[in-house]
């Protein structure tokens, strides 16, 4: 074998494990403005790390940079119902709309809901709604295809906000249904494209005033839409990281954003991904899409799985929260921290240990990190 070849040992999933004290898992949003959360800044070229307030991240942005933000909106995806005929209680977790009134869902309990079962949808306070869903089929993955039926043509779409609950992540514990504050704070201030069942959490730190300050500083904002699926919470169960298969998610990139990415790179500005979902969109855009003029949004599905070593084509910096041990998100951050090498794993574990020592708050309602 020539000297130019390097044998890279396969990474085990358990190498991405770390101990996190339970009290550092943020159970509630930070008190005060969203942008008053903490920010750990890591500069890859110097190895320096600095501690800031989130709104101070503008100090590290330059005029001509482009922030890419995911404007997907979390839908109130958890519904309650009873089985017609037996009255048995069923929880319906909406995953993805496949066509009008047709949804891919999870049912709990799902073992005794064969195709043909009708579930009456219940209002959280008023009881019977007149809306129901019928189980059409069960998928190989254990999910269900259902059709919603009611007095209106768009049976579920028009009532989901009233009937459903915002699905907080399983590590955020509530004794009852999420509060209105939960529903408001588990949504970015710029969310306007409904379809996610989990929030793109790096964007939760932005306020309208901070967005205005971004624009005033000469930094552009480019919108993308990636609807975050339930697979975000799925632990990696394979022994080797490379054997994991990512869930597939829908995304869309407007023509204006494609043009902004191309122009930013041509003039030497940086493309900064706000969140791992925005980064996954950027790295899923084919090269030929950027090289030609688009007159409509680029829409596709992605199952891209980014883990070390990985070279990044379109992303120059990343803003992200602190992620779960042994998760695909932690693997992505490890790859970005040291592109093209395995060094990022140890760097990220060291950064996380430093954040734990400084009592940073972790996960969805927690603090943030900026990797430059």
First CA to last CA distance, the chain: 36
In this prediction, residue 118 carries a pLDDT of 96
**136 vs 91, 104, 143, CA distance in Å?**
17, 10, 11
In this prediction, residue 4 carries a pLDDT of 53
Q: Are 251 and 269 in contact (CB under 8 A)?
A: no
208 phi, psi to nearest 5 deg: -55, -40
Question: For residue 165, what is the DSSP state?
Answer: B
For the chain, domains (ranges, CATH) are 13-74+183-371 (3.40.1780.10), 78-163 (2.40.10.240)
3-state helix/strand/coil string of 357-372: HCCCCECCCCCEEEEC
The residues that bridge with 135 in the sheet, in sequence order, are 146
* pLDDT in single tens digits along all 372 residues of the chain: 444 556 678 899 999 999 999 999 999 999 999 999 999 999 999 999 999 999 999 999 999 999 999 999 999 999 999 999 899 999 999 999 999 899 999 999 988 889 999 999 999 888 888 899 999 999 988 899 999 998 777 778 888 999 999 999 999 999 888 999 999 999 999 999 999 999 999 999 999 999 999 999 999 999 999 999 877 667 799 999 999 999 889 999 999 999 999 999 999 999 999 999 999 999 999 999 988 877 889 999 999 999 999 999 999 999 999 999 999 999 999 999 999 999 999 999 999 999 999 999 999 999 999 999
What is the C-alpha separation between 35 and 74, in angstroms, rounded?
20
What is the C-alpha separation between 361 and 34, in angstroms, rounded?
13
The residues that bridge with 25 in the sheet, in sequence order, are 362
In this prediction, residue 1 carries a pLDDT of 42
**Which residue in this structure is represented by tokens 């080797």?**
240
In sequence order, which residues have a C-beta less than 8 Å from that of residue 80 and are 6 or more positions away?
Answer: 89, 90, 91, 92, 121, 122, 124
What is the C-alpha separation between 314 and 13, in angstroms, rounded?
26
3 state SS of 297: coil
**55 vs 27, 146, 207, 266, 359, CA distance in Å?**
22, 43, 9, 28, 19
């Amino acid at each position: 074998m020539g000297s130019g070849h390097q044998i890279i040992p396969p990474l085990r999933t358990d190498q991405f494990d770390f101990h996190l004290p339970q009290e550092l898992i943020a159970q509630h949003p930070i008190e005060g403005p969203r942008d008053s959360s903490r920010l750990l800044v890591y500069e890859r070229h110097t190895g320096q790390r600095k501690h800031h307030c989130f709104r101070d991240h503008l100090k590290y942005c330059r005029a001509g940079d482009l922030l890419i933000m995911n404007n997907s909106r979390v839908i109130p995806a958890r519904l309650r119902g009873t089985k017609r005929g037996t009255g048995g209680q069923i929880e319906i977790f909406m995953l993805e709309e496949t066509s009008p009134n047709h949804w891919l869902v999870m049912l709990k309990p799902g073992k005794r809901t064969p195709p043909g079962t009708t579930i009456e949808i219940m209002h959280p306070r008023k009881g019977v709604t007149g809306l129901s869903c019928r189980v059409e089929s069960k998928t190989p993955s254990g999910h269900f295809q259902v059709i919603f039926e009611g007095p209106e043509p768009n049976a579920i779409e028009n009532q989901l906000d009233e009937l459903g609950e915002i699905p907080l992540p399983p590590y955020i514990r509530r004794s009852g249904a999420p509060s209105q504050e939960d529903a408001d704070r588990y949504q970015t201030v710029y969310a306007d494209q409904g379809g996610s069942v989990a929030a793109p959490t790096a964007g939760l730190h932005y306020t309208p005033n901070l967005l205005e300050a971004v624009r005033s500083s000469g930094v552009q904002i480019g919108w993308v839409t990636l609807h975050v699926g339930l697979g975000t919470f799925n632990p990696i169960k394979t022994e080797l990281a490379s054997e994991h298969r990512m869930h597939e998610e829908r995304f869309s990139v407007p023509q204006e954003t494609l043009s902004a990415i191309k122009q930013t790179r041509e003039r030497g500005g940086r493309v900064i991904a706000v969140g791992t979902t925005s980064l996954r969109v950027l790295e899923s855009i084919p090269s030929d899409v950027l090289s030609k003029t688009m007159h409509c949004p680029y829409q596709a599905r992605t199952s891209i799985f980014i883990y070390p070593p990985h070279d990044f084509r379109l992303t120059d910096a990343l803003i992200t929260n602190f992620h779960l041990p042994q998760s695909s998100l932690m693997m992505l951050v490890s790859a970005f921290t040291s592109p093209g090498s395995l060094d990022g794993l140890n760097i990220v574990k060291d950064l996380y240990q430093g954040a734990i020592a400084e009592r940073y708050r972790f996960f969805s309602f927690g603090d943030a990190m900026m990797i430059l």
